[in-house]
Amino acid sequence: MIDINIERHKTAIKRNKVSRPVSLLLESNLLTQESSFFDYGCGHGQDLTILAKNGFSKIQGYDPYYRPDSQHIKSDIVNLGFVLNVIEKPNERSETLKTAYSLANKLLCVSVMTKIQQGYEGISLGDGVLSSRGTFQKYYEQEEIKNYLESLLDKDAIAIAPGIFFIFRYEQDKLNYLQSRYKRPVILDYTRIDPISKERTRVKVFKPKLEELIKESPFFEETISFLFNHGRLPTDLESSSYKELIREFKSKTKVKSLLLENIDQDRLEQIRQSRVTDLLVFFALRKFDRKGFPKQSDLPENMVLDIKEFLGTYSNCKREAENLLFSIGNQTVMQKSFRACNLGKQLPDAFYIHPSLINKLPAPIQVKVGIAKKLVGDIDECNLLKINKLKDKVSFLVYEDFDSIAHPALLYTLVMDIPKNNVKFWEFRQRENPPILHRKDTFIDEDYPLFDKFKKLTLKEEKFGLLGHNHIGTRLNWEKFLQEEGFIIKGHQLKKL
């Protein structure tokens, strides 16, 4: 196979926007104008051109065909984007990976084509395929590339998306990144939904005295915002506003009691419980890292403070995280967790939920989904998660536009088999009669902006007896049934024909 003239450079495409890996580096705030960046195997170099146009100046690239004379420059971030998969010689692949990593001061981003993207079968060549244009492509299995990167570099390869991985040189940087990724969305809604009345009435969480102070002083506002995000008050070092308040009131104790005693205690407890869950889920997942739990000295400072506040010591935190991890193998615990979910759709064998609600679920379910994500990363388009109740499997389902289509069709699914540590891809796009979704409101909660719209449609469909029939689960059957019953759906409106 080595004698065939493989025209690797022909695999490089021209881009008018940055490649997916570069866009992920930007989105995660790892690549900033301050970082130095080296694009190893940059092809036409359009990622570099676009970055340069956007004010990035410390950027360079090398490509054996397009920029053969460029120097290899050590940089904070190195991108090895879709290069390994075009190299037909396994030894050269490993050498290329090692060279790219040796240039990365902080982070190497590796992307490859995966079996999910495989469109063309081609003629078999070595461990890949030869295309009619004389190029080589190796389509990787997700677990194959993750294992390859980890064993060659002896580092955790963090799956960001299918085929895209971040490899941090330093443990601290890895933990900082993971922490930012798993952090719960910022809670700035100072109200809570009353759990007793099923109505969506929101209860004000501050007593009038504190409401006044918040209005009067931005320092109160900022300190409260910290409290709501962390479930604890800041240290003087973490918040200058808090420091300012202590100075103003001349007493830490006074400020503390003003803040803590004038807040709805249920809401505060709810936030604190969520923080404990966040920490335990985070550490249960760290147990799966190449070297297991991180050393305490590598933990970000704010995490050390969180552990102290909520779990006492790091040893206790690790013990509880371990218990949580083991609990997911216990059917009784899992069934109890599923029963405790007052969100999502329950079927006897599976639980379905919109991915945006994952961190509102009981900790064992979050861990299960987290383990699946460790292999596949985030699937941006995923709009439904299916957690198998009987087997250790989690599926990432991708439907057509969840927000704008009333009954979106299934496009594809990725099914993660946890004990086998592999992912299977199921394609539905070519199907004439794909499965579709009904009752979209059951997968989300009231905080979802389109909840009311979805709910109204479901209620109307129920009222006219359109739901609850086995045969309506696929598009053609549903459309035929609607027509027979004399209805049509426009947007999210059910109309009589």
Ligand X SMILES: C[S@@+](CC[C@H](N)C(=O)[O-])C[C@H]1O[C@@H](n2cnc3c(N)ncnc32)[C@H](O)[C@@H]1O
Q: Which residues bind ligand X (CB under 6 A)?
A: 8-9, 11-13, 19, 40-43, 63-66, 81-83, 86-87, 92, 96
Least distance in Å: CB of 109 to ligand X?
Answer: 10
Least distance in Å: CB of 143 to ligand X?
Answer: 22
8 vs 373, beta carbon nearer ligand X? 8
**Alpha-carbon distance 145 to 85, whole Å?**
10
Rounded to 5, what percent of the chain is helix, strand, coil?
Answer: 45, 20, 35
**Alpha-carbon distance 185 to 278, whole Å?**
12
Least distance in Å: CB of 374 to ligand X?
Answer: 25
CB neighbours of 104 closer than 8 A, spacing ≥ 6? 38, 74, 75, 76, 77, 78, 167, 169
**Alpha-carbon distance 160 to 148, whole Å?**
16
Exposed e or buried b per residue across 173-193, where buried means at least 16 C-beta atoms within 10 angstroms of its C-beta: bbbbbbbeebeeeeeeebebe
Least distance in Å: CB of 55 to ligand X?
Answer: 21
Dmax (CA) for the chain in angstroms is 81
Least distance in Å: CB of 115 to ligand X?
Answer: 17
Exposed e or buried b per residue across 28-46, where buried means at least 16 C-beta atoms within 10 angstroms of its C-beta: eebbeeebbbbbbbbbbbb
Residue 125, classed as helix, strand or coil, is strand
The alpha carbon of residue 125 and the mean position of all alpha carbons in its chain are separated, in whole angstroms, by 35
46 vs 176, beta carbon nearer ligand X? 46
81 vs 408, beta carbon nearer ligand X? 81
10 vs 480, beta carbon nearer ligand X? 10
46 vs 223, beta carbon nearer ligand X? 46
135 vs 239, beta carbon nearer ligand X? 135
Task: Give the closest residue to 370 by CA, choosing from 318, 328, 425.
Answer: 328
Question: What is residue 253's DSSP assignment?
Answer: H
How many C-beta atoms surround the C-beta of residue 298 within 10 A? 15
Least distance in Å: CB of 125 to ligand X?
Answer: 15
Q: Which amino acid, one-letter code, is at 70?
A: S
Least distance in Å: CB of 87 to ligand X?
Answer: 5
Least distance in Å: CB of 71 to ligand X?
Answer: 14
On whether the CB atoms of residues 375 and 421 are closer than 8 A, the answer is yes
Strands (E) in 280-437, as ranges, are 345-346, 350-353, 384-388, 393-399, 410-417, 422-427
66 vs 428, beta carbon nearer ligand X? 66
Least distance in Å: CB of 481 to ligand X?
Answer: 46
129 vs 233, beta carbon nearer ligand X? 129
**Alpha-carbon distance 195 to 363, whole Å?**
20
Q: Integer distance in angstroms from the first to the last C-alpha of the chain?
A: 63
23 vs 274, beta carbon nearer ligand X? 23
